[in-house]
Structure 1
């Protein structure tokens, strides 16, 4: 084990954590915004948009990666536009890692945010309106704090999904050491190269991180149950 630690390249871990953090921040705010907006729609529009936003959760990641390639490829109009107008390239770059991780992690944040908002007691919202609070202030000062545990769970799950993403990331960002090789991509690459010890090391790293994330979510849920029991 010591010999592996001496020769290991830690860049996949740093890239995964950096990618996961940025993708989670994007998923957090856009997921909350999407959940808030969809709750105001009629049932038909809500069902259609909800299906579209949740689709990356049920599609194979490689399918999502294929669609991302169709959008951001330099052979496609939008990919050319980003490169010529803003000098932004998604294919075979770290921003591509972020976009792929965000697309796959977003549905988890969105679904948890929507579920948390739907469980908020409407009487609290009515009370805020009675006090003369604006809808924006009610949302951020009343609804979001009440839905806090659900939002926290969604954030942690989105982060876990982002750092573990492989299919879409490998298709859009590729496998460039020190640039786009995340831990998940590194595991597949090391196994393909026959470096089982290195692959096993990265597997252990992912397992430990995943366990800590699950323990954190359980801690959040336990606090929520404790607070509920206190009011019963």
Structure 2
């Protein structure tokens, strides 16, 4: 029974850490991009959303190119940590973060763009600095979109398969998440075990989507 829950625990850990990263980075990048107009903005926006439409195998391939043992980044990480990043839990977190980021970014941008800038400017006129404006006015007004984006990002990170399999592998207890565990169970003909994991991820994903729908209806 312990072996059954190991991929579940790892998936929740990976998805939670990926959520923290995309929540912080995605919100800050979205705030910077919203209401700005500059040359090349469309190109940057497209690049940030690209993982949303790329096949997971392509994302995994690109991650191997960037973080692999033959890349500068990969060699630098291996020099610092003493081991390659590929086929580790960290690799699974990176893969989940990359595929989940566009959902967080897209939702946060939409939330920030709906804010009336006169409200923010009025706070500045009253003496509030940029940190206070962002913390006490901008974030609360965009909270619905940010929370929705965070929930969807968590669900996407939880269900990531292709990029994780290529970049992090399928090592039981280290990188085997629910999707990869289901794949192995099916491949070995153990449909009962596969169904058990499918039910778990269905329940979690269903709960995430219900939270998003309830949030939209409430606000």
- TM-score, normalised by the number of residues in structure 2: 0.96
Q: Indicate the residue corresponding to 1:167 in structure 2.
A: 162
Superposed displacement of residue 44, structure 1: 3.4
Superposed displacement of residue 45, structure 1: 2.2
Q: Indicate the residue corresponding to 1:119 in structure 2.
A: 114
- Alignment of 1:20 with 2:47, yes or no, is no
SS of the equivalent of 1:10 reads helix
Does 94-103 or 70-79 show the bigger shift? 70-79
Q: Distance in 1 between matches of 2:144 and 2:55?
A: 29
Provide the alpha-carbon RMSD of the alignment.
Answer: 1.3
Q: Indicate the residue corresponding to 2:124 in structure 1.
A: 129
Q: Is the 8 A contact 1:112 1:154 kept in 2?
A: yes
Q: Distance in 2 between matches of 1:87 and 1:118?
A: 44
Q: Distance in 2 between matches of 1:8 and 1:71?
A: 32
Superposed displacement of residue 7, structure 1: 7.5
Q: Distance in 2 between matches of 1:168 and 1:147?
A: 31
Superposed displacement of residue 172, structure 1: 0.5
Q: Indicate the residue corresponding to 1:229 in structure 2.
A: none
Q: Distance in 1 between matches of 2:39 and 2:82?
A: 39
Among 96, 99, 109, the alignment partner of 2:94 is: 99
Q: Distance in 2 between matches of 1:213 and 1:88?
A: 35
Superposed displacement of residue 135, structure 1: 1.7
SS of the equivalent of 1:59 reads coil
SS of the equivalent of 2:200 reads helix
Superposed displacement of residue 36, structure 1: 1.4
State the number of aligned residues: 219
Q: Indicate the residue corresponding to 2:205 in structure 1.
A: 210
Superposed displacement of residue 20, structure 1: 0.4
Q: Distance in 2 between matches of 1:175 and 1:63?
A: 18
Q: Distance in 1 between matches of 2:81 and 2:184?
A: 32
Q: Distance in 1 between matches of 2:147 and 2:110?
A: 12
Q: Distance in 1 between matches of 2:34 and 2:40?
A: 10
- Alignment of 1:146 with 2:132, yes or no, is no
Among 181, 185, 190, the alignment partner of 2:185 is: 190
| Structure 1 segment 76-95 matched on structure 2, within 5 A | 76-87=71-82, 89-95=84-90
Q: Indicate the residue corresponding to 1:61 in structure 2.
A: 56
Q: Is the 8 A contact 2:35 2:113 kept in 1?
A: no
Q: List per-residue Cα deviations over 1:182-228 (Å, max 9, x = no partner).
A: 0011111111111111111111111111111111111111111xxxx
| Structure 1 segment 32-43 matched on structure 2, within 5 A | 32-39=27-34, 41-43=36-38
Superposed displacement of residue 121, structure 1: 1.4
